[in-house]
């Protein structure tokens, strides 16, 4: 009696297992049919057993992978090309800017050189003027210290501008020292024509415009 009961329980268990397997397989088949899951590989023997073809998915052709790789490569190459173009543009901008800076530097150097030349020329003129002024002062004092007739003989051999410079410097020294100027007496001792010419030039060229 106990053995009979055990057989009944075992039979029920087997039936339940078969029922569970059947329900699971049915659910898988149904979900695969609805495209919820892809069980074509797993259930292909079942489909063949019941005489049906399982749902098959389109297989991607092999050349599609190659096309995708080629497309990714093309995109990468295009990005590299654009980057190279940007670098070339930046390099051109840098070269252009460098050329402008070099041109500005050359212009500044030329200006600096011109200023230095003008400064040197001005300094040379100042030195020349100072040297000439010292010579005129020395000549004026030298002529003032000698007899008027001898001084007039020397002045007579000077050109007009040198003579005028001596006359004016002699007057400046006399005014600075508070003494009488001898210039008028020198002029009176000169030949009348030369004296008139010197006086005319002194009148037409004010002091400071030598």
> Can you tell me the distance from the alpha carbon of 153 to that of 157, in angstroms, rounded to the nearest whole number?
7
- Alpha helices (runs of H) in 145-190, residue ranges in sequence order: 148-157, 160-177, 183-189
Sign of the dihedral through C-alpha 58, 60, 62, 64: positive
pTM over 0.75: no
The domain spans of the chain are: 19-57, 131-204
Q: What is the pLDDT of residues 139-181, one digit of tens each?
A: 999 999 999 999 999 999 999 999 999 999 999 999 999 989 8
Query: In the chain, what percentage of residues exceed pLDDT 90?
Result: 33
| pLDDT of res. 209 | 42
Q: What is the pLDDT of residues 22-39, one digit of tens each?
A: 888 777 767 766 666 666
pLDDT category at 186 given cuts 50, 70, 90 is very high
* Residue 120 near residue 143 (C-beta atoms within 8 A): no
Structure tokens at 191: 């030949």
pLDDT category at 60 given cuts 50, 70, 90 is very low
């Amino acid at each position: 009696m106990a053995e009979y009961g055990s057989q009944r329980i075992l039979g029920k268990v087997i039936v339940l297992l078969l029922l569970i397997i059947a329900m699971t397989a049915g659910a898988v088949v149904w979900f695969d049919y609805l495209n919820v899951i892809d069980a074509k590989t797993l259930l292909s023997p079942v489909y063949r057993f019941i005489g049906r073809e399982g749902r098959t998915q389109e297989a991607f052709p092999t050349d599609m992978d190659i096309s995708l790789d080629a497309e990714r490569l093309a995109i990468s190459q295009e990005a590299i090309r654009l980057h190279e173009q940007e670098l070339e543009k930046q390099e051109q901008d840098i070269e252009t800017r460098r050329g402008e800076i070099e041109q500005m530097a050359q212009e500044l150097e030329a200006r600096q050189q011109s200023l230095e030349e003008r400064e040197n020329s001005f300094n040379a003129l100042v030195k020349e003027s100072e040297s000439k002024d010292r010579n005129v002062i020395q000549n004026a004092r030298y002529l003032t210290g000698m007899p008027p007739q001898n001084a007039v003989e020397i002045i007579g051999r000077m050109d007009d501008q040198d003579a005028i410079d001596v006359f004016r410097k002699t007057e400046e020294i006399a005014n600075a020292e508070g003494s009488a100027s001898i210039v008028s007496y020198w002029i009176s001792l000169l030949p009348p024509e030369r004296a008139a010419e010197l006086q005319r030039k002194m009148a037409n060229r004010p002091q400071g415009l030598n």
